[in-house]
Amino acid sequence: MEPRKALVDVVEKISSMMGEFEDKALNSDELSDLTVRQLYYLDIVKKLSYPTFTDLSEEIGVTKPTITTAVNKLIKQGYLKKVHSIEDRRVYNLLLTEAGKRVVDIHDKAHNDFALMISNCLNDQELNKVVEIFTKVIDCQ
């Protein structure tokens, strides 16, 4: 096969495999009362670490009322907490509860599972090559 075409082909298949791992992780029982969107909100809260409502709304790109609604629901469901800022009493900082941390970890599980699958398919030398080559891709970008 033409090398360029072969690469696109591999990218396509790997991407759809990753998608399947994501979907499988998302079907976990513990995630059953959360939508994909809600999980995304929780991921962003983790990523930003103790964001305010405004931080969240800027990062996600939705209005503040939308954030209020979404966050309140996640608080009611027990995945988030809001704590008053000490410096400015208008402001809240958001954090994951233990349950929140747990579901974010389950979500991350997809990557672990995928990595596990790869390492089961390859020998040590190939694994090292994969890490080495993709580190180059990541750094080059």
Q: Applying CB under 8 A, which residues contact its own copies?
A: 3-4, 6-8, 10-15, 17-18, 108, 111-112, 114-115, 117-122, 124, 126-131, 133-138, 140-141
DSSP 42-109: HHHHHHHSS--HHHHHHHHT--HHHHHHHHHHHHHTTSEEEEE-SS-TT-EEEEE-HHHHHHHHHHHH
Q: How far is the CB of 49 from its own copies (least distance, A)?
A: 17
Closer Cβ to its own copies, 18 or 83, answer by number:
18
Q: How far is the CB of 92 from DNA (least distance, A)?
A: 4
Q: How far is the CB of 17 from its own copies (least distance, A)?
A: 7
Q: Kindly list the residues in this chain that would bind DNA in the complex (CB under 7 A).
A: 35-38, 52-54, 61-73, 82, 88-92
Q: Which residues contact 38 (CB under 8 A, 6 or more apart)?
A: 70, 73, 74, 79
**What is the rounded distance in angstroms from the CA atom of residue 49 to the CA atom of residue 62?**
19
Confirm if 52 and 92 have CB atoms less than 8 A apart. yes
Closer Cβ to DNA, 68 or 112, answer by number:
68
Closer Cβ to its own copies, 83 or 116, answer by number:
116
